[in-house]
Amino acid sequence: MTEPPYHDVTGSGPVLLLVPGGAGHPMGLGPLVDRLASRFTVVTYDPLGLAHGRLGLAVPDQRPADWSEGAHRVLDAVLPAGERAYVCGTSSGGVAALDLLQRHPRRLAHVVAHEPPCVTVLPDGPERREELIDRLDGPGRPAAEGPSATPMGVFLAHVLRPFTAHSPGSGIPPGRLTLAAGAASRGELLYRVSKSLADRIGCPLVPFPGGHLGALEHPVEFADLLADTLRSGGRGSS
């Protein structure tokens, strides 16, 4: 049997799959995981194995489907028979979480997608996507391979373009999804994207602490609101 992709498991309770942003390296998520682990079995997914010794090795361009199918294999390995998992994905991990919900809704109880950069869903999406890429992928890009490779280098080289081009298809069950956007992100591009997706799918949009990096900057508040949102299925939030 093929081994599932790289992941770490901690805590106890219902399964909560975390899909990090960037290139999927879970750096900085320790405080968030610690806070959640008293209430959930937290499964932190590392789709490219960057936190498991593979940083610096060559990787191909990534697709949301690559990450979501890998996440499904992780759930097959860790999820007890007959149970469904909670999922939280942030940034590029939010794109993968949306794709996972579209492809495998029966495995999931509720999904929170935090500021997924599906920029092309906006009426001016192609223009905003080019601006975003130009802003992030400037001169002096960090390395994606070799001894000086960084997770940001991998993200810029192999994740940024395909993930920002992704537009979720039809068939996402709105009752199992909450879109989340940082309260400090109001007026910014990815807040617009999150609101547009919530309106298009017909699911709640919930403000979360901080901005795009709220899970890192406000881990306790983020974790507590995430737990409430998942267990309430997004009901009662605004």
Q: What is the pLDDT of residues 101-129, one digit of tens each?
A: 999 999 999 999 999 999 999 999 999 99
* pLDDT confidence band for 235 (50 / 70 / 90): low
Q: What is the pLDDT of residues 34-52, one digit of tens each?
A: 999 999 999 999 999 999 9
Neighbours of 60 (CB within 10 A): 8
Task: List residues bridging with 41 in a β-sheet.
Answer: 11, 15
User: How would you classify the pairing of strands 108-114 and 177-182?
Assistant: parallel
Query: What is the C-alpha to C-alpha distance for residues 80 and 108, in angstroms, rounded to an integer?
Result: 12
**Residue whose entry in the numeric block shows the structure tokens 């993200």:** 155
Q: Which residues of 150-175 are buried (b: 16+ CB within 10 A; e: fewer)?
A: bbbbbbbbbbbebbbbbebeeebbee
Q: What is the pLDDT of residues 137-185, one digit of tens each?
A: 888 889 999 999 999 999 999 999 999 999 998 889 999 999 999 999 9
Q: Which residues of 26-56 are buried (b: 16+ CB within 10 A; e: fewer)?
A: beebeebbebbbebbbbbbbbbbbbbeebbb
Asked if the model's pLDDT at residue 220 lies above 90, the reply is yes
Query: What is the C-alpha to C-alpha distance for residues 209 and 180, in angstroms, rounded to an integer?
Result: 10
Asked if the model's pLDDT at residue 237 lies above 80, the reply is no
Summarize the confidence of residues 57-65 as an average pLDDT: 97
Asked if the model's pLDDT at residue 236 lies above 80, the reply is no
The pTM (predicted TM-score) of the whole model is 0.96
| Domain locations along the chain | 7-232
What was the pLDDT predicted at 107?
A: 94
Q: What is the pLDDT of residues 181-210, one digit of tens each?
A: 999 999 999 999 999 999 999 999 999 999
What was the pLDDT predicted at 233?
A: 85
Q: Which of 183, 225, 222, 173 is nearest to 32 (CA)?
A: 222
Pick the CATH number of 7-232 from 3.40.50.2300, 3.30.70.580, 3.40.50.1820, 1.10.3720.10: 3.40.50.1820
